[in-house]
Each structure stands twice: as C-alpha cells, then as structure tokens.
Homo-oligomer: A and B are copies of this chain.
Amino acid sequence: MLHFESDYIQGAHPAILENLIKTNLIAQTGYGVDCFCEDARAKIRTACGDETADVYFLVGGTQANATVIDAMLKNYEGVVAAVTGHINGHEAGAVEADGHKVLPLPHHLGKVDANELADLLATFYADDNHDHMIFPGMVYVSHPTEYGTLYSKAELTAISDICRKYNIPLFLDGARLGYALTSNGTDLDLPTLAQLCDVFYIGGTKCGALCGEAVIFPRHGAPKQFFTTVKQHGALLAKGRVLGVQFATLFTDGLYMTICKNANVQAEKVRKDLKEKGYEIFIETVTNQIFIVLENTRLKELSEKVCFGFWEKKDDNHTVMRIATSWATTDEDVEGLLGLL
C-alpha cells in the first residue's frame, strides 16, 4: 500500500527520535524553561533574523490558533479570516468557544485579498452602528493556505500594511510553513514573515515532528502573561523538553528546510506527471498538496493500492482527492504512485 493521504501519517524524522533518546535522561525543569527549549528558541530567533522575538512551543495547531487568538483579542473583538480559514470551519469552533467571533472574508484559492480586507475595515468604521458589532481586532491568514496556495511577498505586505494602518495584529498560521518556505519561486522567508507579522507559528506536527508548533512574536510582542494563557488553554506541556528537543533538531543545520524541500520536490514530480497525463487538477498548488479529480470507479480501483485524502465530492461521478507528500516520501513512493496513475 502506498500512502499519500496526508503529511502526518508517520512518526518523526529519525534525527528527532535520535535526539530524544540522546537527551532522555538529562534532568531538566518542566514547562518549557529547559535548556533544549532555550536552544531551540535561540536557533529560531536566528533563523527569523530577530533576536528580540518571543518564542513559545505549543503542542498542536488548533491549540496554537485558539490560544494566540484568545490572548490577543479583547472581548469586543473578533478575528478576520478567509471563509476557508482553518479556524473558521475545521477546528470545532475553538475560537468561538473562547468567546470570539470569526469575521469571514471571501477566499481566493484560500487566500485573503488585501483590498477586500481594506473594504471590510473601512465599511465597519463607516457604519454608524458599529458600536453594536464585533470589532475586527486581528487578521488571520494561513500560509500555505488550506488549499495549498501561497501568498507572495507583495500580497502579504499589502495585508500587513492594512493591519498596521488599523493597528490590529496580523497572525499567520504556519502549520505547514516549511512547505511554503521551500516552494519553488516563493519570495517569503522567515525574516520577512517576522517583519510583516505580529505573530506566526512554524509548524512541526505536519513538517517532521511528532508534535509541536513554535509560536513566534517578533519584536518582544508576546501578550502579557502569555505563559499563563497557554497554561489556561491546556497547551503547556509539562515535559516541554519534548518540544524543545524537536525544534532544536529541526533548526540545526537547516534540517527543517531540507526535509520540507523533499516534500515539495516529490510533489512537483507528481504534479508534472499528472499534468502530462491529462489529469484534471482541482486547484493549482505549489506546495506539498495536490488536489486532483478522479472518476469514482477509477478511484475505487486505485484505493486498493494507494491511500489518498478525501477532499470533496465533485459531482455524482467524480471526487476530488488530495495527494500529500511529506519529509518521509521517497523516490520509490512517488515512482510507485506514478506507475499506478
């Protein structure tokens, strides 16, 4: 059986496991103040080109989203996001459970459009009754988006400029950030993200770690007592070292980039081949996720030999499926897949 259903179907990159074993018996304080977390923080600050960045390690993406948003919004504020944003549809209402509204914008292949954002903000403040409404208090973007697409530097800069004009923070969900940063032709890197965003996270779970997301507040920007908010959200790992060791490993010798790059290279091979063979691509992506349309009987046949991720029903006879590569995808896996398709 070949596995392309998602990028979190296997454990962790072997270097991470090795380091977990190597450091296993070294006694360290809990809750993220251990030497491994400190090491990881230092490496991430350097990678981001911001020695003043506050860095926290949380366990997962939904948790990171909810905790950051809850910490940064006031009671009367909501978070603006594309209607397709992960927080809006696929996190079981975690943002609302903390008391905050998601204010949806239309999506463009998963992306927020800067002009539409500017309009939303201008319209809000122009409305005589806006004191009766939830204030737009933050902007959330995901990069790559839920559709595997990317913002360009110009696009993200335009969004960032609007946020700064209105003095509201820009939050970038980087659950799959490694696949964005190593995509062909992207002009966004970590230092640029640190300049444009007020908070973002570097995803570990979907990029080679067992679990973990590194939340970064550039320019000492963490909300007051963010540690306590993390604890309150059940997002503070007692053995914080587990996250520290993983991120220290990923940010040593560029491992994070190397393994994410592999996923993109493998995906590019698949994408090229599928196009040549005339498959219908549902959404044009440039990262490790490929969305193709399959005829249902063909899908059934393939499903005996390869696992895809279900995306959505297209019509009565066709289904959109997701092919995801990862740090663990080998040349043999891809050859196997292309041989079947």
Contacts and interface: CB of A to CB of B under 8 A. Distances in A.
A102 B134 CA distance: 13
A328 B26 CA distance: 11
A93 B71 contact: no
A96 B101 CA distance: 6
A93 B78 contact: yes
A93 B225 contact: no
Interface in A92-114: 92-94, 96-102, 104
B99 A96 contact: yes
B24 A14 contact: yes
**Interface size of A as a range:** 35 or more
Contacts of A341: none
A232 B24 contact: no
A interface, over-half SS: loop
Nearest to A241: B11
A64 B104 CA distance: 25
B6 A30 contact: yes
A28 interface: yes
Given A63-B235, A93-B100, A10 B25 contact: yes
Contact of A96 (B12, B31, B100, B236): B100
Interface string A65-85: 111001100111010000000
Contacts of A23: 11
A135 interface: yes
A229 interface: yes
Interface stretch (A46-54, A166-174, A204-212, A256-264): A204-212
A87 to B, nearest CB: 11
Interface stretch (A125-133, A270-278, A282-290): A125-133
A56 B40 CA distance: 31
Contact of A76 (B59, B92, B206): B92
